[in-house]
């Protein structure tokens, strides 16, 4: 049986991907990013980097990072619901860490919902450590966020 990951390409996101990112954001997040917000993310290629996962010319996942001096802040990671559980999030995160190393980023941080155990386990797999809590961080339900850091990437 063929590996479903073999025909998935990870590459830098571009404005050509904007509509797909908007659709994925609506599918994946209870508080989706707006089209205008995502457009601004893609336009600022100096301090913001986005990668996309593409299968059959369709964006099925993305990940973003903000760069502040020598630190990265992962803004979001999304995988189309029909493609979850086969390693796309893993591949996106691995490629983002590699990109950050090349940009001489020293540490990476993120916030993750306290209830999102699958995401927490993915981050832990890559050496992210729980370093704090942001109480009532998520506006839609006041859920806490776990702050995670990966040091010395």
Among all residues, which ones are annotated catalytic? Answer: 111, 123
Task: Report which secondary-structure segment, H or E, holds 61.
Answer: strand 58-68
What are residue 8's DSSP bridge partners? 55
Cα(119)–Cα(28) distance, integer angstroms: 13
Among 3, 10, 33, 26, smallest CA distance to 95 is for: 10
Q: Compute the residue count for the chain.
A: 153
71, two tokens = 């630190």
From CA 147, how far away is CA 142, in angstroms rounded?
Answer: 15
Check: CB of residue 42 under 8 Å from CB of residue 18. yes
Cα angle value 84/101/126 (rounded, 5°): 40
């Amino acid at each position: 049986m063929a590996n479903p990951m073999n025909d998935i390409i990870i590459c830098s996101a571009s404005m050509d991907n904007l509509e797909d990112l908007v659709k994925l954001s609506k599918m994946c997040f209870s508080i989706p990013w707006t089209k205008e917000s995502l457009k601004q993310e893609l336009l600022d290629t100096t301090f913001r980097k986005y990668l996309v996962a593409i299968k059959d010319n369709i964006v099925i996942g993305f990940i973003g990072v903000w760069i502040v001096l020598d630190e990265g802040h992962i803004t979001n990671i999304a995988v189309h619901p029909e493609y979850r559980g086969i390693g796309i999030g893993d591949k996106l995160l691995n490629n983002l860490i590699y990109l950050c190393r090349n940009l001489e980023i020293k540490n990476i941080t993120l916030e993750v919902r306290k209830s999102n155990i699958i995401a927490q386990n993915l981050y832990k797999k890559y050496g992210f450590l729980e370093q704090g809590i942001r109480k009532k961080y998520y506006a839609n339900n006041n859920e806490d966020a776990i702050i995670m850091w990966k040091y010395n990437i």
